[in-house]
Amino acid sequence: MDWLDRLNTSLNRVNIGGGRLELLHWAYEEHLPDNWPHRHTYFEICLVGRHGLGVFDEPTGEHRLSPGTLFVARPGVVHSIANRATPLMELYWVAVGWSAEEKTPKTDGERAMRAFVESDLCIATEQFSILALWEALRQTTSGSWGIGSNEQTAALVKSLILAIAQALSPQENIELPEDPTRPGRQAATLAIRYIADNMNRPLSLKEIASHVNVSTRQLTRLFGTFTGTSPAQYIRVLRLDRASALLTRSELPIKEISHQVGFSDVQYFTRCFTAHFGVPPASFRQGLRGNRVVQRPGMLV
């Protein structure tokens, strides 16, 4: 199936926040002929491809067109496109409608769409990143169609339309607030996941620190900050907590459980488990519990 036929038959709408984007028609011309002045009841979004020069004529004047130029004919606006060189322009375009029932946008993407709809801008030059998105959409829908293709296409369409909305709206730069603890939190989170994934064998502080690209001293400091304990204590408690889950949810021998959670000596495992939970593993499995309150690891503070 031709890529345009696939787009025009497989996807009719995309939800962006609480709004709905209607995809009315996708089109493409490798060499676009001139057209007569006309108008639509929808947004006609156009992008000049890799070749061609021309003009886009609408009530505010004539706008020069060249490769990478993005322009839009808004609903009710009389417009026309004319070439000014050969070869004739390569042109991608899509006709869309937009509606939103709620007065307040629900997402950042919906805010971008509302800004586009309310904007007076009709042209943006050198939009080669948008051209790359359009070409990626063309390539994706030209290939084989299988499981996941509909969602993949919808994601590309949404990305393309939001990029267009940003380019044809007043610039509003949003600075994300800086979180000075973020790098340390990310390193601690990655270390915790590494520990959980490799709990069945001995783990050294040096190995964990190397994996998250910090020094052993820095790793110890990060664990103190974000978990309230040392790496060694964290590992120990995590091993015992995993063992307690295996004792209650499986019929594995205690010796096998001790090995699975990284204890090579079952007697040492039994001593550690008893000290932590107040009862030995066999009693714990039978439903007996100690009186002590156990704080389990796993959450960053």
- CATH classification of the domain holding 12: 2.60.120.10
Q: Give the Cα separation of 260 and 146 in Å (integer).
A: 40
Q: Which amino acid is at 190?
A: L
- 117 and 247 inside one domain: no
Q: At 242, which CATH number? A: 1.10.10.60
Residue 88 lies in a domain: yes
Measured in residues, the chain has a length of 301
Its pTM stands at 0.69
Q: Which residues of 260-278 are buried (b: 16+ CB within 10 A; e: fewer)?
A: bbbbeebeebbebbeebbb
In DSSP terms, 93 is beta-bridged to 27, 46
Q: Give the Cα separation of 243 and 249 in Å (integer).
A: 10
- Specify the pLDDT at position 122: 94
- 162 and 186 inside one domain: no
Give all strands (DSSP E) within the chain, no chain letters. 13-16, 19-29, 43-48, 54-58, 61-65, 70-73, 80-83, 91-100, 123-124
Closest CA to 75 of 32, 119, 35, 27: 119
Q: For residue 230, with 0-12 CB atoms within 10 Å meaning exposed, 13-18 middle and 19 or more buried, which class applies? A: middle
- 206 and 241 inside one domain: yes
Residue 269 lies in a domain: yes
Token pair recorded at residue 28:
């493409």
Choose the final residue of a domain: 115, 143, 167: 167
Is residue 171 classed as helix, strand or coil in its secondary structure?
coil
Token pair recorded at residue 247:
């004792």
- 120 and 50 inside one domain: yes
Choose the final residue of a domain: 167, 198, 229: 167
- 255 and 148 inside one domain: no
Choose the final residue of a domain: 167, 192, 223: 167
- 67 and 189 inside one domain: no
Residue 152 lies in a domain: yes
- 117 and 246 inside one domain: no
CB 82 within 8 A of CB 62: no
- 14 and 161 inside one domain: yes
- 198 and 158 inside one domain: no
- Specify the pLDDT at position 293: 45
Residue 296 lies in a domain: no
- 60 and 161 inside one domain: yes
- 156 and 14 inside one domain: yes
Token pair recorded at residue 65:
């067109």
Residue 172 lies in a domain: no
- 196 and 132 inside one domain: no
Residue 260 lies in a domain: yes
Residue 273 lies in a domain: yes
Token pair recorded at residue 289:
């519990």
Residue 174 lies in a domain: no
Is residue 83 classed as helix, strand or coil in its secondary structure?
strand
Task: Name every residue whose Cβ is closer than 8 Å to that of residue 138 and which is 6 or more positions away in sequence.
Answer: 3, 28, 92
For the chain, how many structural domains are there in total? 2
Per-residue pLDDT for the chain (301 aa), expressed as one digit of tens each?
A: 789 999 999 889 999 998 999 999 999 999 999 999 999 999 999 999 999 999 999 998 999 999 999 999 999 999 999 999 999 999 999 999 999 888 888 898 999 999 999 999 999 999 999 999 999 999 999 988 889 889 999 999 999 999 999 999 987 665 556 677 778 889 999 999 999 999 999 999 999 999 999 999 999 999 999 889 999 999 999 999 999 999 999 999 999 999 999 998 999 999 999 999 999 999 998 887 655 544 555 544 4
Residue 27 belongs to what domain range?
3-167
